[in-house]
Structure 1
Amino acid sequence: MADWTKNLPDAARDYLQGRRLDEVECIISDLPGIARGKAVPASKFARQKHFHLPDSIFFQTITGDWGDAAGEKGFIEQDMILKPDMSTATAAPWTGDWTIQVIHDAYDKDDAPIPFSPRNVLRRVVALYEERGLTPVVAPEMEFYLVAPNIDPAQEIKPMIGRSGRPAAARQAYSMTAVDEFGPVIDDIYDFAEAQGFEIDGITQEGGAGQLEINLNHGDPVALADEVFYFKRLIREAALRHDCFATFMAKPIADEPGSAMHIHHSVLDAKTGRNIFIDKKGEETDAFHYYIAGMQNHMPAAIAVIAPYVNSYRRYVKDHAAPINLAWGRDNRTTGIRIPISPPEARRVENRLAGMDCNPYLAIAASLACGLLGLRDAKTPEPEFRGDAYEGEGDIPRVMGEALDLFEEAHALHEVLGPEFARVYGIVKRAEYDEFLHVISPWEREHLLMNV
């Protein structure tokens, strides 16, 4: 092995122990969270300090079309300089040869971070916490479905066939028998995660047919976003080995619950390491309540980032395992903002609004931004909601167009996420939404063709 491999993270070095590294995948997340980049021979990677991709990768919609977001210079597809973050080097254990992946950061020719690169957006938000002497901590939960292969978009998505030969059944939340149905896929998920050095806190069956949840341990926001970015790929690869698809759509099956990426937040004093949500007596602080108020006051404008597609809004259905408002409550899964049971030192705020279809860097950045704005605003939240929050009124956008309207006017949120990111994101998402509005759905043909 080349000398540079000796400085890889432990898991990557263990993976390559006694083996010859063939290839390095140099990757970066685009706005949807798709891995873009280049695969290069290991010998070439050892000689290169950076590589180039055009900045246009951040102007693409999920369909591959383009938003007119290039700015004053026009659509010239100027090169970005992509530099490896070797702390992210990890195995690609599903490949046919010995391959590692490395996440890269994007810079311009003047060595300034590209402001609309998702990883840079999250780093910007974390840096704003650090300027206040604070250290944000997050823990994501990932929900997803294992479904039967679907290669015809006109066909409805169906649950996968389990180990027993029967389709996965719904309403079996937390069933170990249901988890066993997907045993071979889960085994590969565990094996891939171990090879990549990721620690899974647990896997459970959720309420949907073939729906699973993976919990990750709490930690640094950028590192956790990297893990979710990697996990989406490894879960898809594990599923493909067993004749099924893994999907992270927010609402893949009409009558089943949607898939969320719940985000748990806590904030530490950088000097003392103390959780700022509690005082020395273990009582909740003003900062705790300010943080919740920030979620309530700024999250409506951030919905366009944490629920980034038209399908995302199909998840927000009353009495269907997803919040419909920004009520907050203790140990209450009907609220959009939940305070889980915990000892005082682990007091945290859970954002239950983000869908699993989000870009993890952007969703975590947006969620942290709302909390940070709450600390700045120093406002009190609405009273704690007690009871079933589905009985309350909905107070979040119900369609993508409405969410984009709120996002485009949210200047305080733009200042935290970055004005240039906000400009590009709004243009690309508006272009994507306009593409969708040109599509005539089966529902329209069925009910309107002969009846109106």
Structure 2
Amino acid sequence: MTPDWLKQIPQAAQDYIAGRRLDEVECIVADIAGVARGKAMPASKFARQDKFYLPNSIFLQTITGEWADNPTGAFTEPDMILVPDYSTTTAAPWSADCTLQVIHDVFDQQGAPVPMAPRNVLKRVLSLYEARGWRPIVAPEMEFFLVARNVDPNQPIIPPMGRSGRRAAAKQAYSLSAVDEYGKVIDDIYDFAEAQGFEIDGILQEGGAGQIEINLNHGDPVRLADEIFFFKRLIREAALREDCFATFMAKPIEGEPGSAMHIHHSIIDIASGRNIFSDEQGRETPAFLNFIAGMQAHLPAVIALLAPYVNSYRRYVPDFAAPINLEWGRDNRTTGLRVPVSSPESRRVENRLAGMDCNPYLGLAASLACGYLGLVEGSDPRPECLGDAYMSEDELPLTLGDALDIMVESEPIGEVLGKEFVAVYESVKRNEYKEFLQVISPWEREHLLLNV
């Protein structure tokens, strides 16, 4: 007899376990970094429970495994209640056993959403849109590198070996032959995505050596953040199967471009179903310009979320195809805010500042928060940039410490994302930044040891 919860899961998950014995269920949540935390259990045990427990300290753990100070009170680690969102159930096709993954929503013991949980932060922002009769639509682009296995962190990262026996080459953007070099990994990504019920809009070679971009279809922000969260894991597993690594570091290889998570946004009026960026004649609306103005005004305050590590700021350098400005332009890839060519129905704004190392829930929440504030404030953007925006002056914080300073000083961002979340996020990131500053780099040893 089929347990009742299996009747609630997506068709792709039902197809995956059809005719098989389900062995294990992974109960997972995304922590501050976007790392999957939780517990795995026998499917029979999962079927007998409707909630699970984890300590709230998982949102105070840094990327290195250390613990940040709790700015909201004593470090007592009370349990949170995890409730499965069965709509997120998907296969873990790389597992030896028949395994399903389920993302869980996180509540405190009084039943309120835990404000530090990244999925809850995104839902909080979406609720502000909904209260005004709006529904955001997003379309993310994921860039990442396939690299040779690197088991010694002291050694530089290098491109993977292709089927030709040569290492992947740079400056081969959009080359199908370059993609074919690591075709087995791509095949595994397609196979895993199909088993998990994910639709890939396209895969292409980017400008870096072994750098790939995957585009996802537009849709609901929470659903797409869930997919990116799952995709990062499936891509890593596909790479490991073919004896290489997949990395979502913003800047993994010296001298190569970085990896971004470009985010396309449009806003639907819930009552009419129309894109509020276009009027009935197909022209740009004041709301369209307000959204851009909000991005220009508030993006500096969320760069700490879009560029969450010290490595993230290595991507923000001139002449490496990463915009480091807040200019906007139509079909202009040198601007941080690009308006792609589109029909009036799909008119949208592309934020090109986020790095692929960001937590997808927080990256989408931060970007949408800026646009929301622009819509509410009703301000106008600067004039459109018609030339090369790479020549613009730097407008973004260029270190993690500076980015955190701007974030905590922004009252509007604190109100939209939640002040308790901002305090916890700052605590985690200050801890990571302090740890990084204790590491002496090869550059320092080479140039300072005998010269200063």
TM-score scaled to structure 2, two decimals? 0.99
Paired position in structure 2 for 1:214: 214
Verify the 8 A CA contact 1:141 1:216 in the aligned structure 2.
yes
- Count of residue correspondences: 451
Structure 1: runs of 5 or more not aligned: none
The whole-number CA distance in structure 2 between the counterparts of 1:64 and 1:2 is 39
SS for the counterpart of 2:104 is: strand
SS for the counterpart of 1:212 is: strand
Query: Alpha-carbon deviation of 1:3?
Result: 2.4
Q: What pairs with 1:224-263 in structure 2 (closer than 5 Å)?
A: 224-263=224-263
SS for the counterpart of 1:363 is: helix
1:187 matches 2:187:
yes
Verify the 8 A CA contact 1:59 1:70 in the aligned structure 2.
no
1:317 matches 2:317:
yes
Paired position in structure 2 for 1:295: 295
Any idea what the Cα deviations from partners look like across 1:275-326, whole Å, max 9, x if unmatched? 0001001010000000000000000010000100000000011111101111
Any idea what the Cα deviations from partners look like across 1:150-197, whole Å, max 9, x if unmatched? 011100000000111110000000000001011000000000000000
The whole-number CA distance in structure 1 between the counterparts of 2:423 and 2:7 is 42
Query: Alpha-carbon deviation of 1:71?
Result: 2.2
Amino acid at match of 2:45: K
Verify the 8 A CA contact 2:147 2:210 in the aligned structure 1.
yes
SS for the counterpart of 2:100 is: strand
Verify the 8 A CA contact 2:25 2:41 in the aligned structure 1.
yes
Verify the 8 A CA contact 2:72 2:420 in the aligned structure 1.
no
The whole-number CA distance in structure 1 between the counterparts of 2:97 and 2:60 is 33
Q: What pairs with 1:108-187 in structure 2 (closer than 5 Å)?
A: 108-187=108-187
Paired position in structure 1 for 2:196: 196
Paired position in structure 1 for 2:77: 77
Query: Alpha-carbon deviation of 1:69?
Result: 1.7
Paired position in structure 2 for 1:58: 59
1:47 matches 2:48:
yes
Any idea what the Cα deviations from partners look like across 1:73-115, whole Å, max 9, x if unmatched? x111111000000000000000001000000011000000000
Paired position in structure 1 for 2:304: 304
The whole-number CA distance in structure 2 between the counterparts of 1:302 and 1:231 is 24
Amino acid at match of 1:2: T
Paired position in structure 1 for 2:357: 357
Amino acid at match of 2:20: R
Structure 2: runs of 5 or more not aligned: none
Query: Alpha-carbon deviation of 1:2?
Result: 2.9
Amino acid at match of 2:37: R
Amino acid at match of 2:412: A
Paired position in structure 1 for 2:35: 34
SS for the counterpart of 1:106 is: strand
The whole-number CA distance in structure 1 between the counterparts of 2:364 and 2:136 is 11
Any idea what the Cα deviations from partners look like across 1:245-293, whole Å, max 9, x if unmatched? 0000000001000000000000000011100001001010000000000
Verify the 8 A CA contact 2:8 2:87 in the aligned structure 1.
no
The whole-number CA distance in structure 2 between the counterparts of 1:169 and 1:336 is 27
1:442 matches 2:445:
no
Verify the 8 A CA contact 1:56 1:70 in the aligned structure 2.
no
Amino acid at match of 1:29: A
Query: Alpha-carbon deviation of 1:8?
Result: 1.5
The whole-number CA distance in structure 1 between the counterparts of 2:70 and 2:262 is 30
1:374 matches 2:374:
yes
Verify the 8 A CA contact 2:133 2:271 in the aligned structure 1.
yes
The whole-number CA distance in structure 2 between the counterparts of 1:269 and 1:8 is 29
The whole-number CA distance in structure 2 between the counterparts of 1:246 and 1:187 is 14
Query: Alpha-carbon deviation of 1:222?
Result: 0.2
Paired position in structure 1 for 2:68: 67
Amino acid at match of 1:199: E
Query: Alpha-carbon deviation of 1:70?
Result: 5.2
The whole-number CA distance in structure 2 between the counterparts of 1:196 and 1:207 is 29
Select between 118-127 and 423-432 the one with higher mean Cα deviation.
Answer: 423-432
Query: Alpha-carbon deviation of 1:358?
Result: 0.3
Verify the 8 A CA contact 1:148 1:245 in the aligned structure 2.
yes
SS for the counterpart of 2:212 is: strand
Query: Alpha-carbon deviation of 1:425?
Result: 0.5
Verify the 8 A CA contact 1:2 1:46 in the aligned structure 2.
no
Select between 319-328 and 214-223 the one with higher mean Cα deviation.
Answer: 319-328
TM-score scaled to structure 1, two decimals? 0.99
Runs of 4+ more than 6 Å apart: none
Verify the 8 A CA contact 1:67 1:428 in the aligned structure 2.
yes
SS for the counterpart of 2:397 is: coil
Verify the 8 A CA contact 2:71 2:423 in the aligned structure 1.
no
SS for the counterpart of 1:168 is: coil
Q: What pairs with 1:392-411 in structure 2 (closer than 5 Å)?
A: 392-411=392-411
The whole-number CA distance in structure 2 between the counterparts of 1:25 and 1:164 is 38
The whole-number CA distance in structure 2 between the counterparts of 1:300 and 1:266 is 21
Query: Alpha-carbon deviation of 1:35?
Result: 0.2
Verify the 8 A CA contact 1:31 1:117 in the aligned structure 2.
yes
Q: What pairs with 1:17-28 in structure 2 (closer than 5 Å)?
A: 17-28=18-29
Query: Alpha-carbon deviation of 1:402?
Result: 0.7
Verify the 8 A CA contact 1:107 1:113 in the aligned structure 2.
yes
Amino acid at match of 1:214: I
SS for the counterpart of 1:273 is: coil
The whole-number CA distance in structure 2 between the counterparts of 1:29 and 1:6 is 25
SS for the counterpart of 1:101 is: strand
Q: What pairs with 1:406-421 in structure 2 (closer than 5 Å)?
A: 406-421=406-421
Any idea what the Cα deviations from partners look like across 1:343-396, whole Å, max 9, x if unmatched? 111100000000000000000000000000000111100100011111111111
The whole-number CA distance in structure 1 between the counterparts of 2:333 and 2:227 is 25
The whole-number CA distance in structure 1 between the counterparts of 2:10 and 2:122 is 22
SS for the counterpart of 2:16 is: helix
